[in-house]
C-alpha cells in the first residue's frame, strides 16, 4: 500500500523509511505544495501538514513536525528549529546555539517528533510523539545526519548524532520512536 509523506525534507523521509514496514510504500511530495506552519506546538504543525496535504492528495498521509528543545533555553529553538536564523546555514545556526550555551552548565536537551497519520477518506487522524533526551555538545562534531545532529549527544553515548548517523538514529531517535509507535497502531487497527 502507498502512503503519501507531507515533508519536503529528504533526510526526514529517509529516516522514516528506515522504520517503515516493508509492505508500505512511502510517496514523497511531488508538487510545489507548501503549508504555513503557524502552530505553536509540534502537534499542531504535524496535524496541520497532514490534514492540508491529505486534502490535496486525497489519500492517506504521514506528517512529521520535529525540532530540538534545549532545557536551559526554555525549550528553544523548539517549533522554530527550521526557521531559526532563516537563510543561515546549519553550521551558523549551530554556532549560534553553542554561543547561547557558552558557560551554561546545564546542557540537557531533547529532540521531539510529532508523527501524524491522516486519511481524508475515513476521515481518520492519529498523532503520536517521540522524544530522545541528551545533551548539547561543546562543539560541532560529525558530518552524518542533518540539521542540529552535530551538536546533540543522545543519553548513553559520548558521540553526537552527527557522528553516530542513521545506524543509531534508526533505533533511538525521536523520529524512530514516533514512527515505530505510529506504524504499530496503524497495523493493530488493520490500516496498513
- List contacts with ligand ITT (CB under 6 A): 7-9, 12, 37, 64-68, 81-82, 111, 145-149, 173, 175
The one-character DSSP state at 105 is S
- By beta-carbon distance, which residue lies closest to ligand ITT? 147
Its sign, for the CA torsion 94, 99, 103, 104, is negative
Q: Return the number of the residue (81 or 192) whose C-beta is nearest ligand ITT.
A: 81
Least distance from C-beta 155 to ligand ITT, angstroms?
Answer: 15
Residue partners of 160: CB distance under 8 A and separation at least 6: 137, 141, 142, 149, 150, 151, 152, 153
- If you search the block for the grid coordinates 509540534, which residue do you land on? 42
User: Residues 64, 65, 119, 149: which is the catalytic one?
Assistant: 65
Nearer to ligand ITT (CB atom), residue 23 or residue 50: 50
The residues, ordered by sequence, that sit 6+ positions from 188 with a Cβ below 8 Å of its Cβ are none
Closest to ligand ITT by CB, 146 vs 157, is 146
User: Catalytic residue at 65?
Assistant: yes
DSSP symbol at 52: H
Closest separation in Å from C-beta 173 to ligand ITT: 6
**Enzyme catalytic residues:** 65
Amino acid at each position: 500500500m502507498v502512503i503519501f509523506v507531507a515533508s519536503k525534507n529528504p533526510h526526514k523521509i529517509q529516516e522514516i523509511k528506515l522504520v517503515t514496514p516493508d509492505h508500505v510504500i512511502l510517496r514523497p511530495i511531488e508538487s510545489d505544495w507548501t503549508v504555513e506552519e503557524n502552530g505553536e506546538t509540534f502537534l499542531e504543525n504535524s496535524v496541520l501538514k497532514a490534514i492540508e496535504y491529505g486534502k490535496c492528495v486525497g489519500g492517506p498521509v504521514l506528517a512529521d513536525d520535529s525540532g530540538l528543545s534545549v532545557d536551559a533555553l526554555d525549550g528553544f529553538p523548539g517549533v522554530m528549529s527550521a526557521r531559526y536564523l532563516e537563510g543561515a546555514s546549519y553550521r551558523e545556526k549551530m554556532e549560534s546555539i553553542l554561543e547561547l550555551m557558552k558557560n551554561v552548565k546545564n546542557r540537557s536537551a531533547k529532540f521531539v517528533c510529532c508523527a501524524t497519520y491522516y486519511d481524508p477518506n475515513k476521515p481518520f487522524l492519529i498523532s503520536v510523539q517521540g522524544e530522545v533526551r541528551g545533551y548539547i555538545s561543546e562543539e560541532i562534531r560529525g558530518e552524518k545526519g542533518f540539521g542540529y545532529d552535530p551538536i546533540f549527544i543522545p543519553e548513553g553515548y559520548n558521540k553526537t548524532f552527527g557522528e553516530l548517523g542513521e545506524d543509531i538514529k534508526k533505533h533511538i531517535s525521536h523520529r524512530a520512536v514516533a514512527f515505530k509507535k505510529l506504524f504499530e497502531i496503524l497495523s493493530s487497527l488493520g490500516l496498513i
